[in-house]
Amino acid sequence: MLKIGSLIFFQLLLSCLTSAQDLDPRAYVRVPVRGTALITGFAYLDGNVVLDPSLPLVDLKAKVQTLSLGVARTFSLFGCSAQVFAAMPYSFAQANALYNGQPESVSRSGFGDMRLRLSVLVKGAPATTLAQMKREKPRQVIGVSTTIVAPLGQYFPDKLINLGTHRWSVKPELALSQPISSKWLLDIYAGVWLFTKNSSFFPGESTKQQDPLASFQGHVSYNFNFRMWAAIDLTYYVGGNSSIDGVKKDDRQSNSRIGATFVVPTGKMNSLKLSASTGAIIRSGANFTVFSIGWQHSWYRMPR
């Protein structure tokens, strides 16, 4: 029974360690309450990984290596299954680009912005124990979540490339998780990123504002067995026009990414997750390829 809890946690948590362009299969699967998980991850990104298309950079090429540490807890919220999660990344970045026609290069290392997430399964997933879940068949689940990105990362107002954003970001999201059969699962999410002002934007005294950025995800996953699964992932995000000191930029995004995910158990309470994604159609902004690997260890408290 503990094996089930370990696997389900892993389906939820490592997805929270990525950027605004998430690919998160099975982020709203049903989970037992009274569970805790520790998650570590490593991601390698190559390409235009600066998520700010308003920057005056040309031919940007960057490589970023990110280590992440997160912790999560599941609980009952008004009788529904709920989860709270927090993660902190530490990155090493190397970038080369043309700035005002001149070649420039830079390296950065430090903490990125912290991510916090609260999700609640409002339909089809009442709070339950692991033993009760094992006896029930998969069913349709509707979930909601709020993700907050806190501006705790390294930020230099007089620098163009930073690991932090120096602003708050919030994403409310609505999701549907629909079993197609005992082997196949369809996930569909719709959310929108909302941003506060950055009043210390480059060169340090400018104010940057950004319009909301809508985000849509679709995932089709297949169970090889109860503890091992794979998914094809697709996301599309649109909007996000920015302005600097009131001057609008021509940087509206209308981009899509495609990826794949594979999860395999490595012990009774441990799981391993492998994923890769790349830009499919990019109009403006980040266009990168990312490979990631993550490991998780879970604890589940049995009721008395």
| Digit-coded pLDDT (tens) for 201-239 | 988 889 999 999 999 999 999 999 878 999 999 999 999
Query: Closest Cα to residue 299, out of 22, 34, 80, 29?
Result: 34
Banded model confidence at residue 7, pLDDT cuts 50, 70, 90:
very low
- The strand ranges marked E within the chain are 35-48, 58-77, 80-99, 102-111, 114-126, 141-150, 169-179, 184-195, 198-201, 206-210, 213-225, 228-239, 242-244, 247-248, 253-267, 270-281, 287-300
pTM of the entire predicted model: 0.87
pLDDT at 78: 93
**Side-chain-facing half-sphere of 45: CA atoms under 13 Å:** 24
The burial of 289, by beta-carbon neighbours within 10 Å (0-12 exposed, 13-18 middle, 19 or more buried), is given as middle
Cα separation, 259 vs 275, whole angstroms: 7
* Residue 63 domain boundaries: 2-300
Contact 151, 165 (CB under 8 A): yes
Q: How many domains does the chain have?
A: 1
More confident residue, 137 or 92: 92
| Digit-coded pLDDT (tens) for 255-275 | 899 999 999 999 888 999 999
**3-state class of 239 per DSSP?**
strand
The yes-or-no verdict on residue 2 having pLDDT over 60 is: no
Domain CATH code at residue 116: 2.40.128.130
